[in-house]
Structure 1
Amino acid sequence: MFTETSGTVVITGASTGIGEACALLLDQLGFSVFAGVRQEVHAQKLKEKASPRLTPIFLDVTDADAIAFAVETVTNASNGKLAGLVNNAGIAIPGPLELLPIADFQHQIQVNLTGQLAVTQAFLGLLRQGQGRIVNMGSIAGRSAAPFLGAYNASKFALEAITDVMRLELRPWGISVSIIEPGTIATPIWDKSLTQADIDKENLSESAQNLYGQAMNAVRKQVGILASKGISADIVAQAVVHALTAKHPKTRYLVGQDAKIAAMLKHLLPDRVYDRLVLHSMGL
Structure 2
Amino acid sequence: MKAAPTAGNGRAVVVTGASRGIGAVSAVRLSSEGFRVYAAVRAARDADEARTLGLIPLRLDLTDAGSIEAAAHQVTADLADGELYGLVNSAGIVLPAPLEHMRAADFRHQLEVGLTGQLVVTQAFLPLLRAARGRIVNVSSVSGRVASPFIGAYSAAKHGLEGLSDALRRELRPSGVHVSVVQPGAIATELPAVLMRDVEAAYAELPPVARQHYGDTFLRYGRALAENHARHGSPPETVARAVLAALTARRPRTRYAVGAQAGSVVTASRLLPDRLLDWLLLRTLERTAAGRSTGRR
Do the structures match in fold with TM over 0.5?
yes
TM-score tier, shorter chain, comes to over 0.9
Aligned partners of 2:200 and 2:219 also within 8 Å:
no
Who is 1:10 aligned against?
14
Select between 91-100 and 216-225 the one with higher mean Cα deviation: 216-225
Equivalent position to 2:115, from 89, 113, 116: 113
- Counterparts of 1:68-147 in structure 2, within 5 Å, are 68-79=69-80, 80-147=82-149
2:50 counterpart of 1:46: yes
Distance in 1 (CA, whole Å) between partners of 2:260 and 2:225 is 17
CA distance in 2, matches of 1:4, 1:15: 21
In the alignment, which residue of structure 2 is the partner of 1:62? 63
Contact 2:195-2:222 at 8 Å conserved across structures: no
Letter aligned with residue 276 of structure 2:
V
Whether 1:20 aligns to 2:19 is no
TM-score (norm 2): 0.91
Report deviation, 1:30: 1.1
Distance between the aligned counterparts of 2:139 and 2:223, measured in 1? 26
Q: Deviations over 1:169-197 (max 9, x none)?
A: 00001101000000011122343232121
| % identical aligned pairs | 44
1:213 Cα deviation after fit: 3.2
Aligned-partner residue type, residue 157 of structure 1: H
Q: How far did 1:119 drift?
A: 0.3
Task: Tell me, yes or no, if the aligned pair for 2:96 and 2:152 is still in contact at 8 Å.
Answer: yes
Separation of aligned partners in 2, 1:118 and 1:206? 39
Counterpart Cα distance in 2 of 1:18 and 1:168: 26
Residue of 125, 143, 153 corresponding to 1:151: 153
How far did 1:4 drift? 5.0
The equivalent position to 1:238 in structure 2, one of 241, 248, 259, is 241
SS state at 1:232 partner:
coil
User: Which residue matches 2:267?
Assistant: 264
User: What RMSD, in angstroms, separates the aligned Cα atoms of the two structures?
Assistant: 1.4
Structure 2 residue matching 1:98: 3-state secondary structure? helix
Contiguous gaps of at least 5 residues in structure 1: none
Shift of the 43–213 alpha-carbon distance from structure 1 to 2, 3 Å rule, reads farther
Three-state SS of the structure 1 residue aligned to 2:94 is coil
Task: Tell which deviates more after alignment, 69-78 or 246-255.
Answer: 69-78
Q: TM-score, length-normalised on structure 1? A: 0.95
Q: Which runs of structure 2 are paired with 1:179-194 in the superposition (5 Å)?
A: 179-194=181-196
Indicate the SS of the match to 2:127.
helix
State the alpha-carbon separation in 2 of the partners of residues 158 and 5 from structure 1.
Answer: 33
Query: Does the 8 Å CA contact 1:36/1:58 hold for their aligned counterparts?
Result: yes
State how far apart, in whole Å, the 2-side matches of 1:155 and 1:200 are. 19
1:282 is matched with 285
1:44 to partner: Cα distance: 2.1
Q: Is the 8 A contact 2:13 2:36 kept in 1?
A: yes
Q: Distance in 2 between matches of 1:104 and 1:213?
A: 22
Give CA-to-partner distance per residue, 1:140-196, whole Å, 9 cap, x none: 000001110110000000100000000000000110100000001112234323212
Partner of 2:294: none
The whole-number CA distance in structure 1 between the counterparts of 2:151 and 2:223 is 14
What stretches of structure 2 of length at least 5 have no aligned partner? 1-5, 288-297
Moved segments of 4+, more than 4 Å = none
Decide whether the 8 Å contact of 1:5 with 1:245 is kept in 2.
no
